[in-house]
């Protein structure tokens, strides 16, 4: 039958039967109470019935009670008594004494594990004797409540396990886990002590060995002397030499063995490897520099002029004995499409200036330490790439090419582009400090050349420190010249062919350029030439070998690369000039765009269809937000100027419009297609086709003004390559035509426009007058 007891809650504490405890509670006249564990307001389902042995007065005037646990009790309903205290109904659950063999086996195993635990903890035998004196299996299992390693939840679990055999098995499992953890901890401690003793023994033996060597006069100071000889040869600055001496003192104190000594020696290896006092002798000949650059690369006049200017100014300062200005370094950034020669010209610049050349690829790096190095506190720390570049160059004034600087990443390890701010600032890089070496490096004599495909992915502060030179691609004639003078001879050599064995005239090279490549650079062109020459080499290799009198191979009948051979090697024509066919129907206009690979021709298609609304607009072709807004502006302008454009009044009634920009798989964005979209819609609604020779570019406003755009040179080159002869451009871009090669300007007609009306006058075919 349930009995009502006064409930004493125990916050995060468990009292098991057979335990005695003194609590600061006033039990009143109660002789027996129930102690229930409580955690965050939740009570356990089983408590401990305890006898009140004595009621005591505590220091400070409070009341307390001395309690002895008797047995478990199952907690039932609770209610507040007349005294305002909580009383609960409890069903007593005293332990039975099972006599089966399983319980006796659990008792023996439990005692053995607890004794082993006590031995590890250093028990003096008293606790073990107390455990041996306990005969009841239930009370034996309850001794786990005294274990300091068991958690509150584990002790509650033992309390709530009423069945004696199950409780003993549970307590055994918990004590077994404690024993395993203690054994592992003891093993780790023994291993650490053993390792420390071994290191101490080795240290004493090394000291004795060093003492014996000194007594025998066989002391070897070769390592220290070797470092000092290298330091004397390196012509270190005073601050670096002081750092070197400090590290040498540390090395001598640490001895030649051990981890710290090895770290110091690695640091000294790097410190003496930097070419502190070495510099290449510059070739201060502007004319010779220009000749070397012209021999290696066709075109690229801007970058060649800048290098010649740098050499000429340095020659003047040297001849006039003007002290070098450390804040006037050369930092050039070559931005342009792939394959235009940005990377290869760096080596030509180094050769023209008589300097060493080092290339640093920055594409994809995300760790700031790649630039500045790791601090020496880290295991395996190394200097940054700049220190390694100086070591590889062997001089302090090389040409360092920072390739693909627009593809530098950033993550939780840091932002490498932020570290480059100091490197690429002439006002700061004379005192650059690598985290590993922790001494100042003078980079003011280094010529830095950075390359990138796009400027908009370079952080603004970094771009502000650079002198940008645009690589806008090559004209068709420039590509033909490059193929004839550079690519074709190089592919002959790579394919094992002699100069006289294969010939190709300019017309066939022009065919390959215009019908098999569409790029700003010449990388794809070289691949196509390589394909043609591999096919040719295969044919030549199958012919009988002709030898001269000295046993050398003699070139046979030369193979002339003609159109038939090109078609056989490269297949059918890949690139077509399709502006005439695409714009033959009203509603299609030819725009000009700039991509990451150079300029390109962009077709804008517009069509109308019956619909419920009036003037609804659908846009497709993966257009960005800016381009979508341009389409909305175009439709609004055409509707507002319907009469001026000769569009019928009912052209917008119950009609919807669809504007599409192929190719649909390529994302597109930017405002420069505004005039093209207005032209396409005006052509559609007026029925006047767009002239197939016209390409156009320009941003447009709601008032019909044509605003300037960027990348004009690349767009004009793309229009020329596509066979267009007329280009409509914003009036404020007229000055940019000076950057377009003269041969392209002579072959094309340019129409600067201030308003959209001027654009449509040039772009649309004239209205055909009907003859009665």
Tell me, yes or no, if 68 is annotated catalytic: no
Measuring CA to CA, which residue among 525, 369, 363 is closest to residue 454? 363
Pair 721, 518: CB distance under 8 Å: yes
Q: Is the peptide bond before 562 cis (omega within 30 degrees of 0)?
A: no
Rg (CA), the chain: 44
3-state class (DSSP) for residue 666: coil
| Distance from the Cα of residue 399 to its chain's centroid | 26
Pair 675, 728: CB distance under 8 Å: yes
State how far the Cα of 404 lies from the Cα of 543, in Å rounded to an integer.
Answer: 45
State how far the Cα of 636 lies from the Cα of 615, in Å rounded to an integer.
Answer: 9
State how far the Cα of 543 lies from the Cα of 558, in Å rounded to an integer.
Answer: 12
Tell me, yes or no, if 672 is annotated catalytic: yes
Pair 15, 21: CB distance under 8 Å: yes
| Distance from the Cα of residue 222 to its chain's centroid | 45
Measuring CA to CA, which residue among 247, 715, 287, 275 is closest to residue 473? 715
State how far the Cα of 429 lies from the Cα of 443, in Å rounded to an integer.
Answer: 5
State how far the Cα of 90 lies from the Cα of 71, in Å rounded to an integer.
Answer: 11
Query: Which residues are registered as beta bridge partners of 606?
Result: 659
Pair 760, 682: CB distance under 8 Å: yes
Residue at token pair 């710290």: 260
3-state secondary structure 266-332: HHHHHHHHCCCCCCCCCCCCHHHHHHHHHHHCCCCHHHHHHHHHHHHHHHHHHHCCCCCCCCCCCEE
Q: Which of 514, 672, 683, 686 is catalytic?
A: 672
Instruction: Tokens for 322, please give them.
Output: 């003007």
Q: What is the DSSP string of 345-367?
A: HHHHHHHHHT--EEEEE-TT---
Query: Which residues are registered as beta bridge partners of 590?
Result: 603
In sequence order, which ranges of 68-163 are alpha helices (DSSP H)? 101-120, 126-133, 137-142, 152-160
Q: In the Cβ-directed half-sphere of 58, how many Cα atoms lie within 13 Å?
A: 11
CA dihedral 189, 190, 193, 195 (to 10 degrees): -110
Q: In the Cβ-directed half-sphere of 224, how many Cα atoms lie within 13 Å?
A: 16
Q: Which of 155, 314, 668, 715 is catalytic?
A: 715
Catalytic site positions: 672, 715
């Amino acid at each position: 039958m349930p009995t009502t007891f006064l409930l004493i809650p125990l916050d995060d504490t468990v009292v098991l039967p057979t335990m005695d405890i003194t609590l600061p509670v006033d039990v009143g006249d109660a002789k027996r109470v129930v102690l229930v564990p409580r955690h965050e307001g939740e009570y356990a389902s089983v408590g401990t019935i305890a006898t009140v042995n004595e009621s005591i007065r505590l220091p400070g005037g409070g009341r307390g009670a001395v309690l002895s646990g008797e047995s478990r009790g199952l907690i039932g309903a609770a209610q507040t008594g007349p005294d305002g205290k909580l009383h609960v109904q409890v069903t007593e659950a005293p332990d039975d004494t099972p006599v089966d063999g399983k319980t006796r086996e659990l008792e023996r195993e439990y005692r053995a594990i607890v004794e082993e635990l006590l031995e590890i903890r250093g028990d003096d035998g008293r606790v073990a004797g107390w455990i041996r004196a306990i005969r009841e299996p239930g009370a034996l299992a309850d001794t786990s409540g005294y274990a300091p390693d068991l958690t509150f939840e584990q002790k509650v679990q033992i309390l709530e396990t009423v069945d004696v055999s199950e409780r003993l098995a549970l307590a055994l499992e918990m004590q077994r886990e404690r024993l395993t953890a203690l054994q592992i901890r003891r093993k780790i401690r023994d291993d650490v002590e053993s390792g420390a003793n071994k290191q101490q023994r080795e240290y004493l033996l090394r000291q004795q060995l060093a003492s014996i060597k000194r007594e025998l006069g066989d002391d070897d100071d070769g390592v220290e002397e070797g470092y000092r000889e290298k330091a004397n040869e390196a012509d270190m600055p005073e601050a670096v030499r002081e750092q070197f001496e400090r590290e040498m003192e540390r090395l001598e104190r640490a001895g030649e063995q051990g981890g710290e000594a090895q770290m110091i020696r690695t640091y000294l290896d790097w410190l003496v490897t930097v070419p502190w006092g070495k510099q290449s002798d510059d070739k201060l000949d502007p004319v010779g520099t220009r000749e070397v650059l012209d021999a290696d690369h066709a075109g690229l006049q801007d970058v060649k002029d800048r290098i010649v200017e740098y050499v000429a100014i340095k020659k003047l300062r040297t001849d006039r004995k003007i002290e070098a200005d450390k804040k006037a370094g050369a930092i050039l950034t070559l931005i342009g499409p792939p394959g235009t020669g940005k990377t290869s010209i760096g080596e030509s610049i180094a050769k023209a200036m008589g300097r060493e050349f080092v290339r640093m690829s920055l594409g994809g790096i995300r760790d700031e330490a790649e630039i500045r190095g790791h601090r020496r506190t880290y295991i395996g720390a190394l200097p940054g790439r700049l220190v390694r570049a100086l070591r590889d160059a062997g001089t302090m004034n090389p040409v360092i090419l920072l390739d693909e600087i627009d593809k530098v990443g950033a993550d939780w390890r840091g932002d490498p582009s932020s570290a480059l701010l100091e490197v690429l600032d002439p006002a700061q890089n004379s005192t650059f400090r690598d985290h590993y070496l922790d001494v100042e490096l003078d980079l003011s004599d280094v010529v830095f050349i950075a390359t990138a495909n796009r400027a908009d992915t370079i952080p603004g502060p970094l771009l502000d420190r650079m002198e940008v030179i645009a690589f806008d691609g090559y004209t068709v004639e420039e590509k033909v010249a490059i193929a004839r003078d550079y690519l074709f001879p190089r592919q002959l050599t790579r394919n094992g062919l002699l100069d006289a064995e294969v010939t190709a005239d300019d017309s066939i090279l022009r065919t390959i350029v215009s019908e098999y490549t569409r790029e700003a650079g010449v990388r794809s062109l070289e691949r196509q030439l390589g394909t043609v020459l591999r096919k040719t080499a295969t044919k030549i290799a199958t012919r009988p070998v002709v030898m001269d009198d000295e046993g050398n191979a003699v070139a046979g009948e030369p193979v002339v690369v003609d159109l038939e051979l090109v078609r056989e090697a490269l297949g059918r024509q890949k690139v077509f000039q399709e502006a005439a066919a695409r714009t033959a129907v009203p509603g299609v206009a030819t725009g000009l765009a700039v991509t990451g690979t150079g300029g390109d021709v962009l077709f804008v298609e517009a069509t109308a269809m019956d619909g419920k609304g009036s003037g609804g607009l659908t846009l497709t072709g993966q257009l960005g937000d800016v381009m979508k807004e341009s389409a909305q502006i175009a439709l609004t302008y055409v509707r507002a100027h319907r009469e001026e454009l000769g569009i019928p009044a009912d052209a917008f009634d119950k009609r919807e419009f669809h504007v599409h920009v192929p190719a649909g798989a390529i994302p597109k964005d930017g405002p420069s297609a505004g005039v093209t979209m207005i032209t396409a819609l005006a052509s559609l609604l007026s029925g006047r086709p767009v002239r197939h020779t016209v390409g156009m570019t320009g941003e447009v406003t709601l008032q019909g003004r044509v605003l300037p755009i960027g990348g004009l040179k690349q767009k004009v080159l793309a229009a020329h390559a596509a066979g267009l002869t007329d280009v409509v451009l914003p009036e404020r871009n007229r000055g940019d035509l000076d950057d377009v090669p003269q041969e392209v300007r002579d072959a094309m007609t340019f129409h600067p426009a201030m308003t959209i009306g001027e654009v449509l006058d040039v772009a649309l075919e004239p209205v055909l007058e009907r003859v009665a």
